[in-house]
Structure formats: C-alpha cells, structure tokens
Amino acid sequence: MELRWGDRTWVMGIVNVTADSFSGDGIALPGRGEAEIVAAALMQAGGFVAAGADLLDVGAESSRPAQFYGEHPPVSADEEAALAIPVVTALAAAFKNRARISIDTTKGTVARLALNAGATIVNDVWAGRRDHDTFAAAAESGAHLVLMHNKEVAEYPDGVFDEVVAFLRSAIEDAVETGVPRERLIVDPGIGFGKTPAHSIEILHRLAELKAALGGLPTLIGTSRKRVIGELLGGAPLDERLEGTAASVAVAIASGADIVRVHDVEVMMRTVRVADGIVRWRA
C-alpha cells in the first residue's frame, strides 16, 4: 500500500504496548505475558483495520509529557524491544497489504528491529534529538520517517510557531543529509508535546501556514484525547473527549493534515470521511 498524498486523509490507529499511557489504553498490563499482549494487540488492531485504519502505530514506551503528567520511568532499548517487536511481527503478518505498521520509538536499535520485523514507518517523537540513529535506520530501510517537534518545557520566548517551524526545518535538513529521501518524510508539530493548550491551539489554528512553511510536506496531527481537548471542554476527563477530538480532527483536515493519529478509530473514520467529503469536494 503506497502512501499517496492529497487524495484523502490517512488514519493511524494507536497501539500502546505500555502499561502507563496517558490515555489509559495501554495493553502491557501487569501480569500479562508476551502471548497475552500480542493477542490483545491483534484484537485491538483488528478492530482498527476493520473500521478502516490505514496505519497502525506501535509504541512500547510512554511519551507523555513529564511537565504535565509527571515523570515516568525510562525504558531501556531491550525492554522496549521485548514489548514492541513481537507485536510488530504479529501485526505485519496479520494485516499484510491491508495496513502499514509504524514503530513509535526514539531509539535506533528498536527502530531497526521493528523495520526488520515488518514496520515501514519510523515515528520519532524527538526527531532524532534523543538518538540520531533512528534517521539512519529509516534511510537504510527505505522507510518513511515522521519528524515530530518536542520540547522538555513549554516555554517559547520567541513564539511557539516560529520555534516549531525552525525545529522541523532543521530536522528535515538533517534527515535528508542522513539519506532519507525528502519524499519519505512526514512532519508532526507535536500537539501537546512541550506545549500548553494555548500553544497547541495556535499551532492547530495556523496549521495551513505551518505546512506551507515546511514546503508542503505531508503532515501528521495527533490531538486524540489530549489535554488541549479537555481544556477546551472546560476540564473534561479523558473519557469525555471523544466529540472534542472529532472536532479537532475535522479542523486539522480542513487545514491540510494528511494523517490523523487517533485512539477511537471507528468514530474518527466517520469524522474523516465527512471532513474529506467536504474539504476534497470536486464538482
């Protein structure tokens, strides 16, 4: 399945092989062995694909922002691989030709193992700042590479928009120099990562401008269940952010998003179909 941009929005379903995801949907629960974790991932991903998801994003280390959700224990490459690779292997085999597998990691060793196991996308939420080897892994395999903006502390003395653009331009240049073809790059402004709700709202409001500033590269947006949604809904808890997420997905598509990364795939697929039907309408 080739990723082609402009005709429609691609939907990425989130498969959290963790126990401590901010969204409460981690499947690596205490006491579960590898077989149980793989079975749970297959069941979840099967529902996503049946609903129409194109991409399955497998992550085995929580990337929730420590500034807002508290510190979480670091996961070694070996621990991360032990959780992620059996799931990537199983999903790649089960959904061959139906969905692409993405590995959500900041570690080059984990990326390489996942790519060897059937993943075709590296989703690095630190855009190589934690481990530049993720770029080399993508370059050597011919994988797509997602470059996300991130920051430890949500402080932007010169403005969030300009800093995000500068960060991503630098990451794009670095990735190309490492050998990743520009046509294999995807950018993500990192909604909620190192950003207050106000920062995230500004980025979403100026998404079309941001995409143009980055040369029109395909853009991934992940707003699903995030703090900014709860804030806009007056402090709504995680389980009351579905409609707000759908609204943010529709706005993102109207502003040029090419991929939306979501937890609630079935509902968001309906949202995407309606948004695409309006935004991409041709007489």
SS (HEC) of 241-268? CHHHHHHHHHHHHHCCCCEEEECCHHHH
Q: Is 174 left (phi over 0), alpha (psi -120 to 50) or beta?
A: alpha
Phi and psi at 213, nearest 5°, equal -65, -20
Rounded to whole angstroms, how far apart are CA atoms 182 and 276?
A: 25
**Nearest in space to 55 (alpha carbons), one of 239, 208, 268, 243:** 268
Beta partners for residue 221, in sequence order: 260
Query: What angle in degrees, to the nearest 10, is found between the helix axes of 133-141 and 108-117?
Result: 20
261 carries an active-site annotation: yes
Catalytic entry in 129, 151, 227, 261: 261
Q: Is 270 assigned a catalytic role? A: no
Active-site position among 64, 195, 226, 241? 226
Which residues are designated catalytic? 226, 261
